Each structure stands twice: as structure tokens, then as C-alpha cells.
A and B are shown apart, each in its own frame.
Chain A
């Protein structure tokens, strides 16, 4: 009848023929005849069923960690009667011991009278006042006594363990019966091994280092003992070569497995460890604590992955601790302040993913450039500062993760510091020069994963390798390049994880997977270098390079005359 009105609402229109005209008017005036509340109510009811709770959105800003550290210095205290105190403590120990055993009965052969007088006289003069048990307990727990006791037991242990031969005849008459020159004949002879029933059992030796200040001290780090979950995960023991005692000089531990350890080169009292959790722990042998005195924080600015390489580089006054973890992060720290790294860098090759570093080495006297080996089997050079800071060249050659890397560090007339060797899971050890991307030579005498390699610190052509069969090999490249010049399988045949030359180049320490550290003496003919060894090695290198020109690494190499 009328036009359909255009309106903005859906209407329910009541048709009422009587009121159409008024309705039309009403409609154009936009007054609705529907009932709005009922409309919205049923609309809403349908919607209600679709409501649900959203996810909880949380925002966190972490508070800044307050780090405090304090350094103490103490002027030397001039003590008046040190001897007096020590004598007193000794007397106390003896006193208590006598009490326990026999009391003060003093039997002599003198006649009773004299005996009695003498005794009484003695008792009056020599016998001091008897201390009560409480006083004794107090003294035993005092700081002074504990310090004295700690120092004395070390000395006593060393003395008791010595078993030098007092009948040794220097004129050599006794030696005639024995077979010739035993010592000089063997190139590699077993010296001793270090093992602690409590602390090193069932733990793998993860790292070794010799002390630069005290050549007889060796530090070894161990990882978790799965059989003893309540013991600390990471253990570091300092062993002493000089004395025959079989207990460690110092015992340190921390909550996470220690993967790499080293003596701080310019701080004789500090031992640095890199752990599985990414923390760097610092132990001090001046404190009585076995736990680290300083630790780096577990934060994204430091390391969050296991740290397999720790190294102190620099000079006495300007040194840094360089640490690299398996996520490719290199951090440089100052030993005074481990709360945050001085600088940190991500080692990325070719702008793609970071390098998973398993080992690192600095060439002798270089603080800027270093070489790293990675899990993928590639080796890279890297530098800390400069326009090319970060990863430089890539060296491809290994087919398995690189386990050990060592830069040539013997100093002599010819400079071989561009040479380095690497060991890998692919059963080979390769010789490289920083000037070529491909290996110079590949040593393939092993039949298992090669776990570590290290150049001798004194002989230019000598290096040691250890593998998973328990074999320790010494390669002298001036003698043979295809087989090791000396080889020994460690007792028990456990896989050997680490090898370290002592700084004199006469001893080699190897750590195995059962927590034992074996020390081998290297015979003079092999270990000591002669002046012509340097030029001989230079010739050997030239021959290696010449033969390599074909690109074949497995070809037979002509032995130098």
C-alpha cells in the first residue's frame, strides 16, 4: 500500500489494518513498534554462549642484579711468639694422646724414694696445669689451631710418603747388574698416576694444565660422577709431582661440571674453570673454601652454553681471560671483576650461523689472533680486535667434530708459529698452516676417535696425541711422518681424553675417562731438541708441502734422510 519505508532497523511490524495510516506515519518518523529490550535480550543470549577467557598476558622486567665484591689487603702481621704457640699446640696434642693411652704413670728403675722424689720434682716443674676438656675443645676449634694443623698435616704427609732409596750408590757399581741404560733406552716410560678414591672415581678428566710458576703442580678438572648424585658435579684437583704423597694438594669443587681448567698465568694463586652451565668459576688457594671465590653470572651477556676453552692471554699488567662457549660466544674478562665480561663477541662465519666452538688455541706471543675448532669439523682463525674482529678464514678438512687444537709453540731459530695441529673424531690428526685452507698433512695411524693433541713446548717437530683406545702417541716429524715415534697404551685401556706437556717438555700428563691422570716421562733422545732439529723440520715441512701439491693427503711421504 505504501512504499516500503527505508529504515535502519529490522522491524517486526504488527499489521493492524485499522491503524495503517497512523502506523505509516509512525514508521517514517522512525518510532519503532517492535520492542527493543526483548530483541537485544535474545540477541545477547545467543552471543553469551561464545564467550571465553583469553590467555594471560604477562610482562616481566627483571630487576638488576646487585653485585658486590670486596678486595682485602692486609699488611703483614708481625707476630711475637709464633714458635711458642706452635709448641703449645704440639704439647696439647701430645698431652691428649698420652692421656688417652697411659695416663701419667711414670715408671723408672730408680729406687722408690728417689723415684718418688724425682717424680714429684718433675711433676712440680715440668707438668703444667691440666686443661679441662672444654678448654681443649675450644682451642682445637680456634682459627689459629686449624691453620697450624692444616699446614702441619701437609708436611707430615709428604714426609711419610717419601720412599727414596737411602742405599743408592752413586759410583754406579750396583747398576752393572741391571740391563744397560734403562732410563735412556725407553722413549716413553710410566712415571706415576694420580687418582683419588673419593674425588676422581667415575669421573672423566676433562682438562689438564700445568702451573707456570711451580712446574710440579698440575691441575685436573673432572666432570660429573653419575654414581654419586649428592657429590658436587664439578671437581678440580691440584696434584703435586714433587712429593710421593698420593692425595691432592688442593681440592676444589663447584655445582656444575667443569669442562676446562687452567692456572691463571699471572696470578699464582688462582685457578680458573669453565663449566657446563656456562659459568666461569674462580678458586683461590689462599682461602680455605673449596667452593669458588668468584663466579660469573648466568646471564645472556656472559655464556649460557658449556665453556670448553679458557685461556689467560697478555702480560703481567695487561691480561685478560678469554673464554669461548659452544654457542659461538667469545667473552673477554678481567680477573678482578667477573660480574660482567669486558667485551663479548659472537663468532659467526660468513654472516650465517654461529660457530659451535669446542677448542681454542692462541699462537705463542699472540694476543689478538687465535684459532678455534668447531663441532662441525671446520677450523677457523679469529681475531679479537681490529677491523677484521671475529671469524676470519675457514679451514676445511676434518670429517668429524674437532676435539683438540694446538699451536706450535716451541721457540727457536726458525719461526713455525703459523703451524697448528688438530685432532678429531674422524680418527685423524691434521697439520695445518694458517696460510693454507687445506691441511698440510694428515696423520692416520689411529683406530679410534682422537681426543687431544699438543705440540711439545721445546722440540719443534714433536707432538703428542691421545685416542679412545687408551693410546698415547708421540710423533716426531723429523723421524717419521706416517707412524708415531713412540707409543704406549695406558693400563686399563680406558679412553684418554686430554694430553698436556709439562713446561720443560720432559713429561706428558694424560687424563682418562675413569678419573685417572697418568704422568709419562719422555726419554731424552725424543724430548730434547738439538740445534739442527729446527732446520731439519723446515726441510720436512718443505717436503710435505711439495708432496701435497697434488692435493692427495693420503699419499706416501718420502722420509727425510
Chain B
């Protein structure tokens, strides 16, 4: 039999995903200060962990995870995104996180796999 449930319309739950993302971020850059030589590792691990956690949920989605870490230096940053998809089943969630020295924005997009 298939791994996925057939016939159910599963829709994306942004709250669940946002919790997953927050835990990942806390776990990786929770209490540390911005460091130029480590930030690459951080973004890579955040993206990786988030993705594995989401896939582990076993839902029939394709995921796109994007992570941006910006040092707090007094500059402003503005981003926006929009998608054209099936609004009933697909969804996205964006999590903003900050500490004393940096900002972190993680966006997760989930596109339902059609059966």
C-alpha cells in the first residue's frame, strides 16, 4: 500500500510548522551571539533540521525551506513573498526570531503532492 493516505484532502497547518521551526532555531542559535565564521553552518543546519522534522511528519507535501540570518547593525531589511498555488491545500509559514545580536527569518512553503 501507499505511504500516503489517498482520498483525504490534507491541508498545511502553519501553527504546527511554526512550532517545529521555532524549536529548530532555538536549538541551533538559541543563546549565541552573531559570529561571521559560524553563520554559514547555522543557516545550513537550520534549513536541514527544519526540513527533516517536517518530512518526518509524514504529510504529502513538497517543502521549500528558506532561512536568512542578519546581524543587528542598525540597517533595515525588508522582504516579501507571495505564491500562486492551491490555497486549500498548500500553505506557507514564516517565523521571525531575534536575539540581542541578530535576526533570523525562516520561511517554509508546503505544496501538496497531488495524488
Query: CA A59 – CA B104 in complex, angstroms?
Result: 11
Distance of B107 from chain A, by nearest CB (Å): 7
Asked if A230 is at the interface of the complex by the 8 Å CB criterion, the answer is: no
Interchain CB contact under 8 A, B70 and A61: yes
- In the bound complex, what is the Cα–Cα distance between A64 and B73 (angstroms)? 8
List of B residues within 8 angstroms of A55 by Cβ: 82
Tell which of A53, A59, A64 touches B84, judged by Cβ atoms closer than 8 Å.
Answer: A53
Q: Which residues of A contact B (CB under 8 A)?
A: 8, 43-44, 47, 50-64, 66
Task: Decide: A57 near B81, CB < 8 A? Known: A47-B114, A63-B75, A64-B74.
Answer: yes
Q: State how many angstroms separate the Cβ of A48 from the closest Cβ of chain B.
A: 9
Q: Is the CB of B92 within 8 A of A54?
A: yes
> Of A52, A57, A60, which is within 8 A of B107 by CB?
A57
Measured CB to CB, the nearest residue on chain A to B73 is A64
Q: Are B76 and A62 in contact (CB under 8 A)?
A: yes
A contact residues around B83 at 8 Å (CB): 53-54
* In contact, B82 and A66 (Cβ under 8 angstroms): no
Task: Determine if B78 and A59 form an interchain contact, defined as CB atoms under 8 angstroms apart.
Answer: yes
Residues on B with C-beta less than 8 A from A59 are: 77-80, 94, 96, 105
**Complex Cα distance A63/B77, Å?**
7
Q: A43-B114, A47-B114 are in contact. Are A60 and B78 (CB under 8 A)?
A: yes
Contact A54 B75 (CB under 8 A): no
Q: Which residues of A contact B42 (CB under 8 A)?
A: none
Q: How many A-B residue pairs have CB under 8 A?
A: 65
Cβ contact within 8 Å between A52 and B81: no
What residues of A have a CB within 8 angstroms of the CB of B76 in the complex? 60-63
Chain A residues closer than 8 Å to B92, beta-carbon distance: 54, 57
Within the complex, the shortest CB–CB distance from A429 to chain B, in Å, comes to 49
Closest 9 CB pairs of A and B: A63-B76, A64-B74, A61-B77, A58-B80, A56-B82, A54-B83, A52-B87, A59-B79, A53-B84
Residues of B contacting A43 with CB < 8 Å? Answer: 114
A56 touches B84 (CB 8 A): no
Residues of A within 8 A of B80 (CB): 56-59
Residues of A within 8 Å of B2, CB to CB, are 8
Q: Answer whether A66 and B74 are a contact pair too, CB < 8 Å, given A57-B80, A57-B81, A59-B79.
A: yes
By beta carbon, the residue of chain A nearest B90 is A54
Asked if B81 contacts A56 (CB within 8 A), the reply is yes
B96 touches A52 (CB 8 A): no
Nearest residue (CB) in B for A40 is B114
Whole-angstrom distance between the alpha carbons of A55 and B46 in the complex?
25
Cα distance A44–B107 when bound, in Å? 27
Q: A52-B84, A53-B83, A61-B76 are in contact. List 17 more A-B contacts (CB 8 A).
A: A8-B2, A44-B114, A47-B114, A50-B88, A51-B85, A51-B87, A52-B87, A54-B83, A54-B85, A56-B82, A57-B94, A58-B80, A60-B77, A60-B78, A61-B75, A61-B103, A63-B75
> What 1/0 flags go to B96-108 for Cβ under 8 Å of A?
1000000101010
